[in-house]
Amino acid sequence: MLKRVSENSWLDPSRIEGVLAESQSGDFGQVREVLAKATLLKGLEYKDVAVLASVTDPGLVEEMFATARRVKEAIYGHRIVFFAPLYISNICGNECSYCAFRKSNDELVRHALTQEQIAKETQVLINQGHKRLLLVAGESNPGGLQYILDAIATVYSVKNKNGEIRRANVNIAPQDVESFRAIKAAGIGTYQCFQETYDRDVYAKVHLRGKKADFDWRVSVMDRAMEAGIDDVGVGFLLGLADWRFEILSLMQHIAHLEGLFGVGCHTISIPRMEPAHGSVMASAPPSPVSDEDFKKIVAILRMAVPYTGIIMTTRESPEMRQATLALGVSQISGGSRTNPGGYASEEKFDASQFQLGDHRTLDECVRDIASIGYMPSFCTACYRLGRTGKDFMDLAKPGLIKKKCEPNSVGTFLEYLLDYAPPETQRIGEKVIREEMSHMGDKEADVSERIMRAIRKGKRDVFC
C-alpha cells in the first residue's frame, strides 16, 4: 500500500508566491539560460518555469516561442493526434459557478444517454473516421460507476466496416481506489480529471456545493488512480479562474509529486480556457481572464517544461488559435466536437452543452486544414494496445526512441483515414503530406512505414509497430 498524502502537503502556495516574487526582474541573461536549457530536451526545473512565466518583453517572448517550436519539432515532428469527446451525461450534483452542467441550472435540458444511444453516437464518430474517444460525464450519473463501465464496453463493441474505436479515455469525477481498479479493468487508455484551479480560496468561491467542493479529494485524485494501476493520467486547470502563473507552478508541483511517488508524471496536460456557458455569468466574465498572448505563452512554457508530455487543445478555441498553438507545443486536438449528450447523432436543437465552442469545423475540415500547412494527422493508439504506457512509455520517450514508433504508426493511421473516410481533396493533400513525412524519416522507419502502408492499401487495417 502506498503512503497516502491526505493533507496534500506537496502543494505549497507560499513557495509559489516566493518564487514568483523573485522572478519579476525580467533578466534577459537568466531567461536565455533557461531557454538554452530547454533545448536539451530534459525539461525544466520549478524555478526555470517561474522565470519564463515572468517574461513580458516582446523580443524575449518571441525567443521563447522559437525555442518552444524547436522542442516541439524535435520530439513530435509534425504529428498531431486527433480524438473526439463523447458526452454521455450532463446530469451533475455539483454547483460550479462557471459550468452549464451545475445542479441549479434549471434552464439546461438534462440527459443521460442509454447504452443504445451511446452506441449510436459512437457509430457516428466511427463513420467520421475517429479511432480515439474521450468519454465525459457529469458527477451524478443515474447508474453510478456501472453506467460508466457499461458505456466503455458499449463503445468498444461498435464496429462498422473498417471502423472501430481502438481506445476510450475517460474524464469523470474522482473515484476511490477500488472504483479506479474497475475502470482500469474496463480497458481505458488515459484517465483525465482537471483540478480547475489549485488556488484553495478561489476553488472554494467557485465550487459551492456537491462532492466537487472538497478540494483535497479532487487534488489527490491522481494518487488514487495511479495506486489502482492507471499509469496514464491527464491533468489540467481551467484558465480564467486564478492567476495563470500560480496555476502553472502548482501544476509543476503536482507533476513532481506524482513522479516522486509513482516514478512517472502525467501523460497529458489540458489547458482549457473559460468559454461562455449557458446560464453562467462567470463563464462570460472570467475573474482572471487570460489574453491570447498569455495563452500562447502558457503552451510554449509547458512544452519546454515537460517536453515529453502531450498537450491537448480542444475546440473551445478558434481555428486560428488552435493553428497558432500547434507549432508552440500542442500535440493532440479534438475535431468535430459536440459537448452535449447526443450531440453527434441527434437532430434536436436544445441547450444541453457544457460550454460554447470556438471551432465548429467538421473532423475532415480540421484534418484537411492542418494537413494543408504541413502537419501529419494521426489516429494512432498503438502504445496503449502494446502496453507502452506510464513508465514504459517514458523510458522510450525521454531518450527519443518513441519517435521511431510514432512516425510509422501515424502514417499508417492517417492512410487508413484517407482511404476509408476522406473526400478526394483531403486525399490529395494527405498523400502529399505522407510523402513529405516519409522523406524526413530514417531508413528503418521509412521501411517500416512502407510495409505498413502496403498492407493497408491491400485492405488490411489496424497495422502498427
pLDDT tens-digit profile of 59-71?
999 999 999 999 9
Give the pLDDT score at 444: 92
Element (H, E) at 118: helix 115-128
268 has pLDDT over 70: yes
350 has pLDDT over 60: no
What residues contact residue 91 under an 8 Å CB cut-off, 6+ apart? 101, 110, 111, 112, 138, 140, 141, 142
Segments in 263-329 forming alpha helices (H): 281-284, 292-305, 319-328
418 has pLDDT over 70: yes
- Overall average pLDDT of the 352-366 stretch: 86
Q: What does residue 164 show for φ and ψ, rounded to 5 degrees?
A: -170, 160
CB 321: neighbour CB atoms within 10 A? 18
Asked if 112 and 89 count as a contact pair (C-beta separation under 8 A), the reply is yes
Q: What does residue 171 show for φ and ψ, rounded to 5 degrees?
A: -125, 95
Confidence band of 393 (pLDDT split at 50, 70, 90): confident
Give the pLDDT score at 335: 94
382 vs 80, higher pLDDT:
80
Please, what is the angle between helix 292-305 and helix 319-328, to 10°?
Answer: 30
Q: List the helix and strand counts (H, then E) for the chain.
A: 20, 13
Locate 45 and state its grid cell: 526545473
Q: What is the tens place of the pLDDT at every residue in 93-112?
A: 999 999 988 999 988 888 89
Element (H, E) at 181: helix 177-185
- Local structure of residue 418 (DSSP, 8 states): H
pTM of the model: 0.94
- Overall average pLDDT of the 127-137 stretch: 97
Element (H, E) at 413: helix 403-420
Give the pLDDT score at 5: 43
- What letter represents residue 398's amino acid? K
Confidence band of 146 (pLDDT split at 50, 70, 90): very high
Give the pLDDT score at 2: 43
Question: Cα separation of 20 and 345, whole Å?
Answer: 48
- Local structure of residue 270 (DSSP, 8 states): E
Locate 264 and state its grid cell: 512517472
399 has pLDDT over 80: no
Locate 339 and state its grid cell: 459537448
Q: For the CA atoms of the chain, what is the radius of gyration?
A: 21
